[in-house]
Amino acid sequence: MAENVAAISTTVEKTNRILSEIEREMGWQGRPDEALLAMRVVLHTLRDRLPVNAAASLGAQLPELVRGIYYEGWAPARVPVKMNRQEFLDEIARRFIYDRDEGLDVRRMTSTVLETITLHLDHGEVEKIRAALPKGIAALMPG
């Protein structure tokens, strides 16, 4: 029982670190809901663009709580959704529902989320994901 509680605490801590990093990098301090939505929409759009095996492989690498967010609403029979870089970024912008007076740099947000998430992944896994994506989208990933 104590292991279960420790595992829950650990995944909550990891998720909070990821969200705090996104908040800090985007200048969104005190706006955790926006950081959470940014992570969700980038991961969902990435997941939906990947072939099923690559998407599942990525999901297996994510911290447990983030993994639950990642798989929320996934329909493996409907992927991969073919998109070029601009369509990928447009889909992320469409899903990011916060109204931003100062505008939203979708490319920067996407790269920030991907960079933050990949810090928690095996380097080989990141390379597999990058190889499964069109070059324009893969270029948004760090490395």
CB atoms within 10 A of CB 126: 19
Note the pLDDT tens digit of each residue in 8-60: 899 999 999 999 999 999 999 999 999 999 999 999 999 999 999 999 999 99
pLDDT for 51 equals 97
pTM of the predicted structure, to 2 decimals: 0.93
3-state helix, strand, coil in the chain (%, to 5): 70, 0, 30
Look up residue 60 and give its amino acid: A
Tokens 């990058």, residue located? 130
pLDDT for 100 equals 64
Fold of 2-138: Globin-like (1.10.490)
Q: Where are the domains of the chain?
A: 2-138
Of 59, 50, 106, 56, the C-alpha closest to 82 is 50
pLDDT for 101 equals 61
Whole-number average pLDDT of the chain: 93
Residue 142 has pLDDT above 70, yes or no: yes
Non-local (6+) Cβ contacts of 20 within 8 A are 35
Of 26-30, 34-38, 96-100, 119-123, which has the strongest mean pLDDT? 34-38
Note the pLDDT tens digit of each residue in 124-140: 999 999 999 999 999 99
Non-local (6+) Cβ contacts of 23 within 8 A are 29, 30, 31, 32, 34, 35
